[in-house]
Every structure is written in C-alpha cells, then in structure tokens.
Amino acid sequence: MGATETGANAQAPAIGSAGMPFWTRLKAILGGSAGNFVEWYDWFAYSAFALYFAPAFFPEGDANTQLLRAAAIFAIGFLARPVGAWLMGLYADRAGRRAALTLSVAMMCFGSLIIALIPTYAAIGILAPIILLAARVLQGLSVGGEYGASATYMSEMAGRKRRGFWSSFQYVTLISGQLAALGVLILLQGVMSEEALQEWGWRIPFFIGAALAVVVFIIRRGIEESASWKNRGAERVGTLLLFLRHPRETLMIFGLTAAGSLSYYAYTTYMQKYLVNTAGFSKEAASQINAAGLVCFMLAQPLMGWMSDFLGRRRMLVAAFGLGALAAYPTFTTLGRTSDPATAFVLTLIPLLILSAYTSISAVIKAELFPAYCRALGVALPYALANALFGGTAEYAALWFKGAGVESYFFIYMTVIVSIALLISLRMRDTQKASLIQED
C-alpha cells in the first residue's frame, strides 16, 4: 500500500487549486450544495406530510397502523439508496462529480412529480401504494447517489485550512431542505383546513419539489469540476477492490453512519410523530417544535465544522457519540412526560446540538479517508448501506416498539448503536491531520 493510501504524505504541499479565490470557492460550494437542498426537501416532504396522505393510500386500520405502513415505504425507499450510491459512486469517479450531481437531481425531479400525480387508493385500489413505492424507490436511487457525489465534491472544493467549515454546508443544505419541507407543511396548515390537506393539499409540496429540481438541474450544468477528480490519475477501482483495499475505512464509515443516521432520523422525522402520539402535542405544535429545533441544528453546523479545523475531527466524533450515548434514553423518556412546548423544544434541541458535532463533519471525514480515484464510491456505498439499515428503519422500528407496548426498547437500541460508534471514534486516526485530499 502506497503512502497516499495510508495518509503518510498528508502533509505534502497542496496541489491543484491552490490559492482559489474566496468567491470562486464559495460559488463552487453553493453550486454543489443547491441540489442537496432540493434532494432532501423532496425526500423529507414524504415524512412531513405522511400524517395527511397516509389515509389516502392505506385507508384501513387506525392512525398508527396507517403511519406504520407509510413508514414501511419510507424504509423501503432507503433500500434503494445503496444501489443508487453504488451506481452513482462509480459514475462520479469515472465521469466526474458534476455529471453525477446533475443526473441525481434529474431523477429526484421525476420521483417527486410521480408522487404529486398519483391517484388515491379509492380511485385505483392497490395500484396507488404500488406506484407510491416505485416513486420512492426512484427517489431513493437519487438520494443515494446525491450524498456521495455532493459530499465528495464539496470536500474537494473546500480547501485544506477550512475544509471542516466549508464542507459543513453539505449538512446545512440537507437540514434546510428538511426545514423547507416542514415550512411548507406549517404554511399549508395555516391556510388550509385539515380536511383539505388530507384530501389534496399534501400534493402541493411534491409539485414544488419537482419545479425546484428543474432549476437546480440547470445550475449544476454550469458548475466546474473539482481539481481532485482532474488529478486522479488513470487508476480505477471497482466495488470488490474498494472493500479489499480499504476494508477498515469502509467499516468505519458504516459504523459511524449507522449511529449518525439512526440518531438523526430519531430526533427529526420520528420526533414529530413521538410528540403527537406519545407526548400528546397537536400536529401543529409538534411541527413547530420540530422546525425550531432544526433551525438551531442547522445554524450549529458551520460552527462545529469550524471547530473541527482547530480541534481535529476525532475529538468532535468522540464528543458527539460519547454524549449522544448518554442522552438518548433520558431525552425520550422525559419528553414523553412533557406537556410544555418550551420544555419540549429544549429537550429536542440538546441531542441535536450534540449530534451536530458529527453531522457537521460527516462529509469531510469520509472523503478524507479515500484517494481521489475511488473517493465517491468509498464515501457513498458504506454510508448508503448503513443509512438504509439503520436510518431508514428508525421510524418504523420506533413505531413497531410503540405498537408492541415496549417503546423504551427503541431508546436502548439507539444507545447501543451510538456506543459502538464511540468505540470506532476512539480508535480511528484524525483525518484532519492525515487527509488523503491533496488539493487545496
């Protein structure tokens, strides 16, 4: 194994885009992240509006049963993400980051448009949930490809000295996409009756997402390619060779992502349902508490990314997963007995701020582990596999435990997975000091 793969020459002089002007770098980061916003808006619009459209596709059973079936499709959509990550990761390493980013947002556009136009179960019967599932699979392929390409591109364009800060905007746009979905939900809740939202209003956010995707498709066609991809050399790596050459890095990304994704979806998408079904808040109050917490969570990303440039990535990971393991169980159990919105907001915010020590650098730590010729695939595939198994099933698992009368088992499950990530963090090298991204 050469020095480049081990990180032994990580302190070598930067090459490629050295001295990139601030505004040029900013344009590249914003251009690369614009599609990330739209991708995650479309992805989370499904979860945000599930409270309203679930009866349209699953009319039988009580509210929890309908949500459980909608959550099952949400989870199945995640299963397509590893396939999208695999295909798009290979494509991004061979055809370029820009080409992969453009293709992924086009796929999301079609997926959102399909959901917006699906007839209900009352109109076409069992075909309605089948088409919904197909659209979510298409969106899963898109999001699976988007993460690896955007995380890689933004990390490569970020620059050596402030790579943690600039790459944190990958999660800023991810969260802002979720916030936008929640914002549309809150707006529609304010101007439409619950009956209208449940009958046809839930289609509006998916039309919006499809339109935004067209705009971003045009923007992404104009962004420049990264110097890392241009300087990658002639070597190529397939899927098998990725696992053979980088087994440790692949497993580390899988373990960190399992904990990070499980925590993220538990404290965001599932939290909305938990506040309604367990804590007893109204749908409107739960949406507002969730949105306020996400705003603070989003604003914390650049700060945490900036801190990682000084403190190192490893220390941030240890803090995120160490405190996260301690916080999971008491956060949920205390929330379940809370009726005050202000208290609920604080209780949801604390674990999100802890988690931000990971999410802010989740893109860069993965990208810094791999050489350029296999970086997009190395970032995307283990991330998507762990995300599908742990993030995509978080809401379903939590609802299942609740239905079985043992809701607290989900909190224990979270604690165990996050503790495993803590052990990984304690044993991994600090990628800030041993980064394989050589370009500045």
| CATH code, domain carrying 108 | 1.20.1250.20
Q: Is residue 5 part of a domain?
A: no
Write phi, then psi, for 376 (nearest 5 degrees): -65, -45
Specify if 30 maps to a domain. yes
pLDDT confidence of residue 6: 37
- Per-residue pLDDT at 413 exceeds 80: yes
pLDDT at 15: 40
Short-list 116, 183, 105, CA closest to 139: 105
Mean pLDDT value of segment 103-116? 88
Residue bearing the bigger pLDDT, 7 or 74: 74
Q: Got the DSSP string for 336-400? A: TT---HHHHHHHHHHHHHHHHHHHTTHHHHHHTTS-GGGHHHHHHHHHHHHIIIIITTHHHHHHH
Residue with tokens 């899963």: 140
Query: Does residue 19 register a pLDDT over 60?
Result: no
pLDDT digits (tens, 9 = 90+) for 236-278: 666 777 777 888 889 999 999 999 999 999 998 889 889 988 8
Domain-located, residue 341 = yes
Q: What is the pLDDT of residues 337-393, one digit of tens each?
A: 888 999 999 999 999 999 999 999 988 888 888 887 778 888 888 888 898 889 878
Tally of domains in the chain: 1
List the end-to-end C-alpha distance of the chain, in Å, as a whole number: 24
User: What is the C-alpha to C-alpha distance for residues 290 and 212, in angstroms, rounded to an integer?
Assistant: 23
Report residue 64: phi and psi, to 5°.
-65, -40
Q: d(Cα 168, Cα 145) in Å, to the nearest integer?
A: 19
Please state the pTM of the whole predicted model: 0.78
* pLDDT at site 5: 38
Residue range 283-318, pLDDT digits in tens: 888 888 988 998 999 999 999 999 998 888 899 999
Quote the percentage of the chain above a pLDDT of 90: 25
Q: What pLDDT is stored for residue 151 in this prediction?
A: 81
Indicate if the pLDDT at residue 394 is higher than 60.
yes
pLDDT greater than 60 at residue 16: no
432 domain-assigned: no
The dihedral formed by the CA atoms of 47, 52, 54 and 59, expressed in degrees to the nearest 10: 170
* Separation between Cα atoms, residue 45 and residue 67, nearest integer Å: 14
What integer pLDDT is reported at residue 376 of this predicted model? 82
Domain assignment present for residue 75? The answer is yes
Query: Is 387 part of any domain?
Result: yes
Note whether residue 2 is domain-resident: no
- Mean pLDDT of the 139-168 span: 80
* Residue at 440 is within a domain: no
* Structural domain of 47: 20-427
Mean pLDDT throughout 162-166?
Answer: 82
Mean per-residue pLDDT for 186-200? 87
